[in-house]
A = this chain, B = another copy of it.
Amino acid sequence: MTDDGVSYEARQERQARAALSFLAEPGDPALGSLLRLCSPGAILGAVTGRGDPLAALPAAGRDAPGVKRAFERWRKHLPDLPPPGRIEAWMHGRYRLACPGDPEWPTQLDDLGETRPIVLWLRGRDLRFACLRSVAMVGSRAATAYGTHVGTELAADIASRGWTLISGGAFGIDACAHRGALAAGGVTVAVLASGLSFGYPKGHEDLFELVAGTGVMVSECPPDRAPTRPGFLIRNRVIAALSRGTVVVEAARRSGALNTAKHARDLNRPVMAVPGPITSDQSAGCHDLIREYGAACVTSAGHVIELISPLGEADGGSERGPAVPDDILDPVTAAVLRAVPARSGRGPAAIALLAGVDLDTAVRCLGMLAAVGHVERCDQGWRARKAESGQP
């Protein structure tokens, strides 16, 4: 075991996945298929080896679809592969890596099948917790004054009800989603098409700092990777898959936001659209979604939450229980949550003692639980938060 409690082998496999994220484009289905048959280390070894990569691969992987041409693609990027020490530094510095099977990995991404991200580079809070009650809000970069106003208000209203806003960090409606959530003291997740260190668009550097402060910055790409044109569309599947549903606030007929909506529909997540003036080109895509793709016409946060809430939860009023059912929390966090009183409040040290964990762990877990609306600070320390009464 290494000093972070992960076995040496598991750590090697995480490093291999991280290395593969430098070689394969996000969403490469050939890599997705191959990872079901071979370990990341075996695949990386085959790509980086001198001989025939297919011969170096375990027998199970040699017949994977498109594997021969995939190796040709991946080997082209070998000159871009940083030395292992640099990858390792990224994994444990400003950013962290989440891999399938990690406690932080959002299992809803598994719905993407062979195009599931092989890793996610993260900065900020716990991603899985942040996305448990979440909705994607996307739309035009060239938003109108109407779309900017409506998108920001809607995002703030959704966030104030304890839901996380997920978007793409772009100018226009994406920014409204993040800023509206932040203004309401809520949680927001930005899934970038560039690496996190590259941080595209550059003009949103300050916004991304704010998002990382209370929410999560996410990318499938290695940190210093610049965005590519197809990369934006490929990224959209992650926004759709992380969330319970997708709202399009403003979109022209050929907007990339419609691509996110299509991904959401393919994933059987609710697709919602905000109507607007029929004289506005930036609402034409929304109206098309409602008319032709059966998207729900939503005009308020209540409508959105009604559509994405589990059956019977949305109309439960202010008395419904916490957002995250206890039984999907990891045992340590669940123990910390059980140690938080429903009324008055309790200090972190007392909570740590009751939960049987050290103070650092208790504080980390309380931060996560607060991010998803489970607990809140009060004069006496921490107490359990009722989901609907917890509006700012």
A139 contacts B by Cβ under 8 Å = no
Q: Is the CB of A284 within 8 A of B299?
A: yes
A291 contacts B by Cβ under 8 Å = yes
Separation in Å of the A113 CB from the closest CB of chain B?
Answer: 32
Separation in Å of the A180 CB from the closest CB of chain B?
Answer: 15
Q: Which of A276-314 contact B (CB under 8 A)?
A: 276-279, 283-284, 287, 290-291, 296-300, 303
A149 contacts B by Cβ under 8 Å = yes
Separation in Å of the A336 CB from the closest CB of chain B?
Answer: 41
Q: Is the CB of A297 within 8 A of B303?
A: no
Q: Is the CB of B278 within 8 A of A276?
A: yes
Chain B residues closer than 8 Å to A278, beta-carbon distance: 150, 274-276, 299-300
A8 contacts B by Cβ under 8 Å = no
Whether A297 contacts B275 in the complex (CB less than 8 A), given A290-B290, A291-B303, A303-B291, comes out as yes
- Tallying the copies of this chain within the complex gives 2
Closest to A295 in B: B297
A149, A287, A303 pick with most chain B CB within 10 angstroms: A287
Chain B residues closer than 8 Å to A277, beta-carbon distance: 146, 150, 276-277
Closest to A275 in B: B275
Looking at chain A, what size class is its interface with the partner chain? Answer: 20 to 34
Chain B residues closer than 8 Å to A290, beta-carbon distance: 275, 290, 297
Separation in Å of the A307 CB from the closest CB of chain B?
Answer: 10
Separation in Å of the A1 CB from the closest CB of chain B?
Answer: 55
Separation in Å of the A285 CB from the closest CB of chain B?
Answer: 11
Q: Is the CB of B279 within 8 A of A146?
A: yes
Separation in Å of the A270 CB from the closest CB of chain B?
Answer: 13
A146, A276, A278 pick with most chain B CB within 10 angstroms: A278
Chain B residues closer than 8 Å to A291, beta-carbon distance: 296-299, 303
Separation in Å of the A22 CB from the closest CB of chain B?
Answer: 44
A276, A298, A299 pick with most chain B CB within 10 angstroms: A299
Closest to A290 in B: B297
How far is B272's CA from A297's CA once the two chains are assembled, in angstroms? Answer: 13
How far is B287's CA from A146's CA once the two chains are assembled, in angstroms? Answer: 17
26 contacts across the A-B interface (CB closer than 8 A):
A146-B277, A146-B279, A149-B279, A150-B278, A150-B279, A275-B276, A275-B278, A275-B283, A275-B287, A275-B290, A275-B297, A276-B276, A276-B277, A276-B278, A277-B277, A278-B299, A278-B300, A284-B299, A287-B297, A287-B299, A290-B297, A291-B296, A291-B297, A291-B299, A291-B303, A297-B297
Chain A residues within CB distance 8 Å of chain B: 146, 149-150, 274-279, 283-284, 287, 290-291, 296-300, 303
Q: Which 4 A-B pairs have the closest CB atoms?
A: A275-B275, A278-B299, A290-B297, A291-B297
19 further A-B contacts with Cβ under 8 Å, apart from A150-B278, A278-B300, A284-B299, are A146-B277, A146-B279, A149-B279, A150-B279, A274-B278, A275-B276, A275-B283, A275-B287, A275-B290, A276-B277, A276-B278, A278-B299, A287-B299, A290-B290, A290-B297, A291-B297, A291-B298, A291-B299, A297-B297
